[in-house]
């Protein structure tokens, strides 16, 4: 099983450019998430989708937009990249319907904005 697949793995953008990070999961999970990880700050939630057709802001949504295209896919868009958005981005999915819930993560996208 592929699990959670993110593309691209690496990206360099110039300030002001736009891009979309893609994420797909093959585990039929209801919930999907986008996090960013910066040194010393753990994982911070950008946006999440509790179920297909819904999206909500997380802790750090400014400068980002998301689309839950279908149950499998959840994309993250940077409309006008800024150096402060240099980070490692992780997509995750979860069933979140049982007591022993778990988040499954992709391998991450390392984004540098120059």
Partner 1 sequence: TQLLEQSPQFLSIQEGENLTVYCNSSSVFSSLQWYRQEPGEGPVLLVTVVTGGEVKKLKRLTFQFGDARKDSSLHITAAQPGDTGLYLCAGARRNTGNQFYFGTGTSLTVIP
- Element at 12 (helix H, strand E): strand 10-13
Query: Which of 15, 101 has the CB closer to partner 1?
Result: 101
Residues 21-60 that bind partner 1 (CB under 8 A): 30-31, 33, 35, 40-45, 48, 50, 56, 58
Distance between CA atoms of residues 71 and 81, nearest Å:
27
Rg (CA), the chain: 13
Rounded to a whole number of angstroms, the minimum distance from the CB of residue 43 to partner 1 is: 4
H helices, E strands: number in the chain: 0, 11
Q: Which one among 24, 81, 106, 113 touches partner 1, defined by CB under 8 A? A: 106
β-pair partners for 25: 4
Residues that bind partner 1 (CB under 8 A): 4, 30-31, 33, 35, 40-45, 48, 50, 56, 58, 90, 92, 94, 96, 99-108
């Amino acid at each position: 099983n592929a699990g959670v697949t993110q593309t691209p793995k690496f990206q360099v953008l110039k300030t002001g450019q736009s891009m979309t990070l893609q994420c797909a999961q093959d585990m039929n999970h209801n919930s999907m998430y986008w996090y960013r990880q910066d040194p010393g700050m753990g994982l911070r939630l950008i946006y999440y989708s509790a179920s297909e057709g819904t999206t909500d802001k997380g802790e750090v949504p400014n400068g980002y937009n998301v689309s839950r295209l279908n149950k499998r896919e959840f994309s993250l868009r940077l409309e006008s990249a800024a150096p402060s958005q240099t980070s490692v981005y992780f997509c995750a999915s979860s069933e979140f319907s049982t007591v022993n819930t778990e988040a499954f993560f992709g391998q991450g996208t390392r984004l540098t904005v120059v």
